[in-house]
């Protein structure tokens, strides 16, 4: 099982210098992936229910902003990180495709894949925040169909043969244009579908190069993976070779007044002296079939979070590999 970290490009600790220090440290310590999130327009108030939890719920006013502002843009951040790291995969979880122009998006992503030496993993989804789409002047209706056509357009440009390529769809179209630059990864970078609904799981099984989950415990993930495997079999695809990107949903935090750190799970806080409990908890994701697991170090300050990243690499990752 591979292990990834969320890039701290959002929230009150975010800064260019901290993104640099965090990503270079993670890359040197052997983490397998560095992940961004995508919210280009965050409203202070919304009526849209948050749909990625176990049950839809309305977010309190200002809740999204408290977690994500400032929010350095996702693709720009990955391009920056591509130039200061060497080995970790560069990933999105998730890019909200209906908010983006697909032709420009294809060019930016191909550029990122080339500049990074072929390290892009592109996690995508339809989004949940209608007010964000309205601020971006983007249609909210039929966003699932728009997302699927966006994916088809990306692959059309990236895998085009010859000197020119055209596209004619329901929502997007263009006459002959030059397809270069094409991505370094062939036939194209993996496009990993996000979302927890049956519609999203079926979409992943039908057109995805993998599925990416939001933060959740193994118990919930087990049920969703079971559904996904059934949809993959119905599509004639091998569930055992279909990559699953999980998010442990465990906040690993500095312990005020104590040495080391602790992690917060459904059964409460566990200290560093009980690291075997954390290791066993993470092993549950491996048994479910997760290919790449994101874990979440958090702290009140930047140095504290970096210390957790280092301790995890020293005491936890070797046991799980």
Tens of pLDDT, residue by residue over 106-118, are: 999 999 999 999 9
pLDDT in tens, 142-192: 999 999 999 999 999 999 999 999 999 999 999 999 999 999 999 999 999
On the question of pLDDT at 291 being above 80, the answer is: yes
Q: How high does pLDDT run on average in the chain?
A: 91
Better pLDDT: 273 or 131: 131
What domains are defined for the chain?
2-247 (3.20.20.30)
Give per-residue pLDDT as tens, 14-27.
999 999 999 999 99
* pLDDT above 90: residue 275: no
Rounded average pLDDT over 88-100: 96
Are the C-beta atoms of residues 4 and 33 closer than 8 Å to each other? yes
The string of pLDDT tens digits covering residues 35-53 is 999 999 988 888 888 888 7
Q: What per-residue confidence (pLDDT) applies to 278?
A: 84
Cα torsion 87, 92, 93, 98 to 10°: value is: -170
DSSP H/E element including 263: strand 261-265
Has residue 297 got a pLDDT over 90?
no
pLDDT tens digits, one per residue of 228-250: 999 999 999 999 999 999 998 76
**What average pLDDT does range 292-300 have in this prediction?**
84
Q: If you average pLDDT over residues 204-217, what whole number do you get?
A: 96
Cα–Cα distances in angstroms (integers) from residue 13 to residues 16, 18, 35, 71, 312, in the given order = 10, 8, 16, 10, 20
pTM (global) more than 0.75: yes
Distances (CA, A) of 212 to 91, 94, 174: 11, 8, 30
């Amino acid at each position: 099982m591979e292990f990834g970290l969320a890039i701290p490009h959002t929230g009150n600790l975010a800064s260019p210098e901290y993104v640099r220090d965090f990503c270079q440290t993670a890359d040197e310590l052997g983490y397998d992936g560095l992940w961004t999130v995508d919210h280009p327009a965050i409203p202070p108030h919304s009526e849209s229910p948050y749909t990625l939890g176990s049950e839809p719920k309305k977010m309190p006013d200002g809740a999204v902003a408290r977690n994500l502002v400032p929010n350095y843009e996702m693709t720009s951040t990955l391009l920056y990180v591509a130039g200061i790291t060497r080995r970790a995969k560069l990933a999105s979880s998730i890019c909200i495709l209906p908010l983006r122009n697909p032709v420009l998006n294809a060019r930016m992503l191909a550029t990122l894949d080339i500049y990074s030496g072929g390290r892009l993993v592109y996690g995508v989804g339809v989004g949940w925040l209608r007010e964000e789409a309205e601020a971006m002047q983007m249609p909210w209706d039929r966003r699932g169909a728009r997302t699927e056509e966006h994916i088809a357009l990306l692959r059309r440009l990236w895998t085009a043969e010859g000197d020119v390529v055209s596209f004619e769809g329901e929502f997007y179209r263009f006459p002959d244009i030059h397809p270069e630059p094409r991505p370094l990864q062939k036939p194209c970078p993996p496009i990993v579908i996000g979302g927890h609904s049956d519609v999203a799981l079926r979409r992943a099984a039908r057109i995805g190069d993998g599925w990416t989950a939001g933060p959740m415990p193994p118990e919930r993930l087990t049920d969703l993976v079971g559904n996904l495997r059934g949809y993959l079999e119905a599509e004639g695809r091998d569930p055992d070779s279909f990559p699953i990107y999980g998010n442990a949903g465990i906040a690993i935090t500095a312990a005020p007044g104590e040495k080391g750190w602790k992690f917060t799970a459904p059964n409460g806080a566990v200290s560093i002296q009980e690291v075997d409990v954390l290791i066993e908890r993470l092993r549950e994701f491996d048994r479910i079939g997760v290919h790449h697991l994101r874990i979440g170090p958090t702290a009140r300050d930047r140095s504290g979070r970096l210390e957790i990243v280092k301790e995890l690499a020293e005491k936890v990752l070797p046991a799980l590999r």
